[in-house]
Amino acid sequence: MDKILEVKNLRLYYHTSKGAVRALDDVSFDLYKGETLGLVGESGCGKTTTGVALIKMPSPPGRIEEGSHIIVDGRDIMPLPDRDIRKNVRWEQVAMVFQGAMNCLTPVYTIGKQMLETLQEHRQMDKVQAEELIKEYLGLVGLPTEVMGRYPHELSGGMKQRIVIATALFLKPKLVILDEPTTALDVIVQAQIINLLKKLKKTFDLSFIFITHDLSLEAEVSDRICVMYAGKIAELGTNQQIYGDQGPMHPYTEKLLQATPLLRKKVDTLSYIPGTPPDLIDPPKGCRFHPRCHKVIDKCRTEEPPLLEVEPGHMVACWRCGS
């Protein structure tokens, strides 16, 4: 399988007056064509930051540091100037559905006009052609064409999210990053959207990066899962390796799964992880998770564990999970 995305040593720091917030600190992973990679973690872990970094849009004072490489379809986009990225990479090769995007549809323009604007920004098309394309994609996401004449406030959350997905797809990108695409939606609508995404992925042979904090959702969506904590990858493995019977290897992932309530099984006590995520300006020495880890040993407090392959395709950054 070929790689559609290679991320090497990605570092993104926010340079504030109090110091550099190390939001992403040496993150590396690959994405293969046609697969869904899940980025999962809690608030502040860096999953959303990874998403915006991949389209080179860190919000100031954030900056992607020297030494980071983002290779999209064989080409490193780090040295490219912004003009080039805007024209050829963003939306053309890599599209992103931002968190809460459905609430960012401009309330004063119709859906049709907004989608038209995006399309005409990238392609030389006359209005008729463009509208035909829009109608096609609206149909693909299961929306009637009359939606084009509506305003965002007239539509439900699920419909708006479908529009945002259609807008992300109609330039035929190879990779779509989805940041919490279903968080604000009801659970039935969420299931419908997830079904839609799976269908579209098959139809267009897309690759997804699916970002969410919901571990249960990740299990049903992603082929491989990347668990992030405090700006670093804790564990990266296949769906089977993380959610299968033998369980994940990193203590954080383990505890996180134990903290996830199950619907179809009665659980007597739910696990939780004491403490709070660390300060990213001055993270703990050694392993960043050690203050909250139930398996901590002395080495964890002083030396930072590297991300090592413990079995084929399964990477863990933990001293207790040696190979």
Q: Which residues bind another protein (CB under 8 A)?
A: 36, 42-43, 156-159, 186-192, 194-195, 198-199, 213-223, 239-240, 242-244, 255-257, 259-264, 266-267, 270-274, 276-277
Query: In whole angstroms, how close is the CB of 207 to another protein at the nearest point?
Result: 14
Of 75 and 199, which CB lies nearer to another protein in the complex structure?
Answer: 199
CA-only gyration radius of the chain, Å = 20
Of 93 and 222, which CB lies nearer to another protein in the complex structure?
Answer: 222
Query: In whole angstroms, how close is the CB of 161 to another protein at the nearest point?
Result: 11
Within 8 A by CB and 6+ apart from 53, the residues are: 10, 12, 24, 64, 68, 70
Query: In whole angstroms, how close is the CB of 184 to another protein at the nearest point?
Result: 9
CA distance 224 to 38: 6
Of 244 and 306, which CB lies nearer to another protein in the complex structure?
Answer: 244
Of 58 and 157, which CB lies nearer to another protein in the complex structure?
Answer: 157
Q: Among 58, 41, 67, which Cα is nearest to 232's?
A: 41
Query: In whole angstroms, how close is the CB of 275 to another protein at the nearest point?
Result: 9
Q: Which two tokens stand for residue 237?
A: 């493995």
Q: Which two tokens stand for residue 62?
A: 């954030």
Sign of CA dihedral 50, 54, 59, 61: positive
With 0-12 / 13-18 / 19 or more C-beta atoms within 10 angstroms meaning exposed / middle / buried, residue 214 is middle
Query: In whole angstroms, how close is the CB of 57 to another protein at the nearest point?
Result: 25
Query: In whole angstroms, how close is the CB of 175 to another protein at the nearest point?
Result: 18
Of 281 and 302, which CB lies nearer to another protein in the complex structure?
Answer: 281
Of 88 and 238, which CB lies nearer to another protein in the complex structure?
Answer: 238
